[in-house]
Amino acid sequence: RTVYVNGEYLPEEEARVSVFDRGFLFADGVYEVTSVLDGRLIDFPGHAERLSRSLRELEMESPVTDEQLLDIHRELVRVNGIEEGMVYLQVTRGVADRDFAWGAEGEPTIVLFTQSKPGLADNPKAREGMKVISIADRRWGRRDIKTVQLLYPSMAKMAARKAGADDAWMVEDGFVTEGTSNNAYIVTGGRIVTRHLGEEILHGITRAAVLRVARDLQMEVEERPFTLEEARAADEAFVTSASTFVMPVVEIDGASVGEGRPGPVAARLREVYLDEMR
């Protein structure tokens, strides 16, 4: 596999990042995941825009222009022959002697790689639905910045796995924030309900597109927090992300949502979203 590191395309075995990189020492970096279908990037402009925002919030500068970034994405997809999969991009503050304060480092570090994932669009999970558990949201308070500090979401994912579930919905002050790596939704009272944007959740690129699709389909959308109790009593539940698109949730903490099968709203949104994006 060919990867990209700081201006160079290299075989993955030859790619190097310093042990003094602040991404490694402090999780001082941000990332994006863009999916690839039919060899084409899905919603690249959305991801590029959110990257700029994450960087700005952390007083970092992008080492490349959006145009260069797009070229690098396309080149990696091409050389690695990715038909279905994703491109991972990470920008860290760079290399400096270990110090909590930043400012001494040179250029940011930029790394991109691809992962091939055949069956991303025609995912059997989308027909079965996912099981989730609930777990306290113990992440930091700026979840709107897409940082690489993903230890708590990893712990939550492991807790889900140990419980025989696929993912975890995180709960704070009685309300669902989001999944470990996706935004959370329910369908109740004929409306799609998903948490409003703020610092408590990541502003999903798929979320923005799916809500646009929902409104185009004359579905009613309510952007507000919802509780686990509301979710358990809902007609449907689902999540969205660049890697799952729209994915039904059929079980929460062992109890069925609706009839315990993927519902029509999630199915329709998935279908129309994929149609429009590819």
d(CA 89, CA 127): 30
The count of residues interacting with ligand PDD (CB under 6 A) is 14
d(CA 238, CA 192): 10
Which span sits near ligand PDD by CB under 6 A: 74-82, 191-199, 239-247, 270-278?
Answer: 239-247
Residue ranges in 40-79 that form contacts with ligand PDD under rule CB under 6 A: none
Which span sits near ligand PDD by CB under 6 A: 65-73, 75-83, 177-185, 256-264?
Answer: 177-185
93 vs 203, beta carbon nearer ligand PDD:
203
Whether the CB-CB separation of 87 and 39 falls below 8 Å is answered with no
d(CA 196, CA 278): 27
Which span sits near ligand PDD by CB under 6 A: 53-61, 128-136, 203-211, 261-269?
Answer: 203-211
Q: Which residues lie below 8 Å from residue 118, measured CB to CB, with a gap of 6+?
A: 83, 84, 85
Minimum CB distance to ligand PDD, residue 72 (Å)? 19
Torsion region of 127: left, alpha or beta (phi above 0 gives left; psi -120 to 50 gives alpha): alpha
Q: Which residues pair with 40 in a beta bridge?
A: 37
Main-chain dihedrals φ then ψ at residue 152, nearest 5 degrees: -65, -45
- What is the CB neighbour count within 10 angstroms for residue 45? 11
The residue type found at 183 is: N
109 vs 182, beta carbon nearer ligand PDD:
182
Q: Which residues pair with 5 in a beta bridge?
A: 8, 111
Minimum CB distance to ligand PDD, residue 112 (Å)? 14
The residue type found at 36 is: V
Q: Does 167 bind ligand PDD (CB under 6 A)?
A: no
Q: Does 92 bind ligand PDD (CB under 6 A)?
A: no
1 vs 53, beta carbon nearer ligand PDD:
53
Q: Does 243 bind ligand PDD (CB under 6 A)?
A: yes
Q: Does 241 bind ligand PDD (CB under 6 A)?
A: yes
Which one of 117, 131, 146, 157 is the catalytic residue?
Answer: 146
202 vs 265, beta carbon nearer ligand PDD:
202
d(CA 140, CA 70): 30
Q: Is 162 a catalytic residue?
A: no
- Pick from 62, 90, 147, 182 the residue near ligand PDD by CB under 6 A: 182
Provide the pairing of β-strand 220-223 with 130-136. Answer: unpaired
Which spans of this chain sit near ligand PDD (rule: CB under 6 A)? Answer: 33, 178, 181-183, 202, 204-207, 240-243
Catalytic residue ranges? 146
